[in-house]
Amino acid sequence: MGSSLRASEPAAVIIVGAGPAGSAAALRIAARRPDLVARTLVLDRSVFPRDKLCAGGLSSIAESQLARVRAAPSVASVPVAATEFVLGSRREVLRHASVAFRTVRRMEFDAALLDRVRRRGVAVEQGERVRAVHVGRTAVSVVTDRGEHHALAVIGADGANSVVRREIGVGTGERGFALEALLPSNARRGAELSEGIAMIDFAPIKAGIGGYCWIFPSRDADSPLLSCGIAVCAPDCARSGRLARSFLLEWLASRGLQCDSSSIRGHGGIAYDPDARLGAPRVCLAGDAAGVDPYLGEGIPCALGTGIAAADAVVAASDRNDFDLTRHHERVRRSAIGEIMARRRLFAPARYGRNPVERYFLAARFFGRGARSLDTTEAIG
Ligand SMILES: Cc1cc2nc3c(=O)[nH]c(=O)nc-3n(C[C@H](O)[C@H](O)[C@H](O)COP(=O)(O)OP(=O)(O)OC[C@H]3O[C@@H](n4cnc5c(N)ncnc54)[C@H](O)[C@@H]3O)c2cc1C
């Protein structure tokens, strides 16, 4: 059972999930209310460092959110000097004076961030899975596979398949997904790619898939790699993982990159909706559990920013001793990251289109297979 917080007094706040959202929330609470540190508990079902499917691209927006919690974990990263955007025949290379962004290994980055949380004195329980959350009049009970905790407030930062989100009755939201494969960077030879340049190609749109393909320079512990993938952001395109997988394979092959289908992994995501409820009495959501930018699926800054917003909501609730967090979505909407996500939500339909009939015919033409391959019940990847 471990934590001293299991004593009879409820914790001030329990944060479910120790990814960037949960860590940002914990760091923000520690910075704003040091008196709450000893009464804050972070729970995660995994033991860190844990695997996390992600291209690890840290944009300047992510860096500025990290600065807000005074945490820039010193982990190995790969600088990206420029990004090439491709839209049909149009190509635009965005170069920056220093670096456009950097890529990190999420396994290292998340563990380093969580280490900061621990070093600020916040209790962290790993390998403990939350099963249920019961909201009572004076506290919330968090039921795990090891026992039960009680808190005045709970932040659900437990990812895209959030148990906390389900437990407070917020719907599943509009869902997208992303597929990723890591290729050795010598696959670059013969492919039209330059060192240190990332590519974002909106080619899937022509095939009726509302998303983009990417290639980011990356690395594992020993060697340079390429993170290659497809993000399907337009939620009503999220039905067909198989289509996206074959598109990705063809797209990579057209760039001279051979990829084994079995090395592709996928993960779902919820598109941020400014009007969707993100809280309940004593509970609010952050990170993927709250939703990510629906245009690019750039979730790390969203996770950090909404983690901070959730911490601010809990601190304010504790100050006024009123833990009704039902209108938490309004706080998120007013925040800088909320504004970015809302703006990107407006771009998404303009870029990806929302006419399912048109997309059906585009896909049928591209894949030449007709209706069977467009089965709306297909699962991701
Ligand atoms: C293929 C792919 C590529 C991506 N590339 C990028 C990119 O380049 N840049 C970018 O900004 N974003 C990217 N993203 C998005 C980004 O990875 C996520 O938005 C981000 O990880 C969200 O952070 P989080 O803290 O909300 O959730 P997570 O990082 O998923 O953390 C949630 C935590 O909750 C824990 N948890 C889950 N359920 C429970 C439970 N029941 N009990 C206890 N603990 C639980 C998990 O173990 C996990 O540690 C990518 C996503 C994918 C799928």
Please give the pLDDT value at position 254: 92
Question: Lowest-confidence range among 12-26, 81-95, 169-183?
Answer: 81-95
Please tell me if the CB atom of residue 156 comes closer than 6 angstroms to any atom of ligand 1.
no
pLDDT at 229 over 90: yes
Please tell me the distance between residue 21's alpha carbon and the centre of ligand 1 in angstroms.
8
Which residue, 153, 119, 113, 104, is CA-closest to 133? Answer: 153
CB 199 within 8 Å of CB 158: no
Please give the pLDDT value at position 377: 26
- Torsion angle (degrees, nearest 10) of CA 170, 172, 173, 174: 180
Instruction: Give the Cβ contact number of residue 268 at 10 Å.
Output: 19
Please give the pLDDT value at position 367: 63
- Strand pairing report for 57-58 and 101-104: antiparallel
Please tell me if the CB atom of residue 294 comes closer than 6 angstroms to any atom of ligand 1.
no
- pLDDT tens digits for range 239-271: 578 899 999 999 999 999 999 999 999 999 999
Please give the pLDDT value at position 206: 87
Please tell me if the CB atom of residue 178 comes closer than 6 angstroms to any atom of ligand 1.
yes
Q: What is the mean pLDDT of residues 357-365?
A: 64
Domain boundaries, the chain: 4-52+107-172+272-346
Please give the pLDDT value at position 363: 63
Please tell me the distance between residue 189's alpha carbon and the centre of ligand 1 in angstroms.
32
Q: What is the mean pLDDT of residues 353-373?
A: 58
Of 35 and 98, the one with more pLDDT? 35
Distance CA 77, CA 80 (A): 9
Checking phi first, is residue 221 left (phi over 0); if not, alpha (psi -120 to 50) or beta? alpha
Q: How confident is the model at residue 27 (pLDDT cuts 50, 70, 90)?
A: very high
Please tell me if the CB atom of residue 56 comes closer than 6 angstroms to any atom of ligand 1.
yes
Distance CA 97, CA 101 (A): 11
Tell me which CATH code domain 4-52+107-172+272-346 carries: 3.50.50.60
pLDDT at 45 over 70: yes
Q: How confident is the model at residue 214 (pLDDT cuts 50, 70, 90)?
A: very high
Please give the pLDDT value at position 76: 92
Which of 27, 45, 179 to mutate to test ligand 1, by most ligand atoms within 8 A of the CB atom?
Answer: 45
Counting Cα atoms < 13 Å in the Cβ hemisphere of 147 gives: 10
Please give the pLDDT value at position 366: 62
- pLDDT tens digits for range 87-143: 888 888 887 666 678 999 999 999 999 999 999 999 999 999 999 999 999 999 999
Q: If you average pLDDT over every residue of the chain, what do you get?
A: 88
The kind and range of the H/E element at 58 are strand 57-58
Question: Lowest-confidence range among 81-95, 191-205, 289-303?
Answer: 191-205
Distance CA 50, CA 339 (A): 31
Please give the pLDDT value at position 234: 72
